[in-house]
Structure 1
Amino acid sequence: IRLEERFLPTVDVVHGFEVDNSEELDAFFIDEHHILDLSEIIREGAIMATPMKPLCSGECRGFEY
């Protein structure tokens, strides 16, 4: 799985102030303890990488109705 995402802090590392990220709709956030939880990103990436119609081989045409 290849992922390309943006991660933004919720707290300024140097000063400890909360960072306003209210305009960032498509970014993931690093929590107030400076921990990055990758579980949701990996789950979404794995779902998107899974073929909708898995086949047993490259030559297989799948089920035909």
Structure 2
Amino acid sequence: MQDMEDWRKEVVDTGVTHCPSCKSTDLLMGACAVGAMTVHQEFICNGCQFEFKAMYAIAFYYPD
């Protein structure tokens, strides 16, 4: 199992979300909860069936 901080750094550096258990990128995206400052995304790994949630935060804004 990949350490949470190592997983975050790798995902941010590569721009690719992967399973923290087996590193597969074959992920099923589930429900998404949108808050004022964050988005929580559910994932299920199609490789090992590991279930996890990822939290995304506001990084910047851009004009329309």
The answer to whether TM tops 0.5 is no
Bigger radius of gyration, 1 or 2? 1
Higher strand share: 2
Q: Which has the higher contact order (CA 8 A, sep 6+)?
A: 1
TM-score scaled by structure 2?
0.21
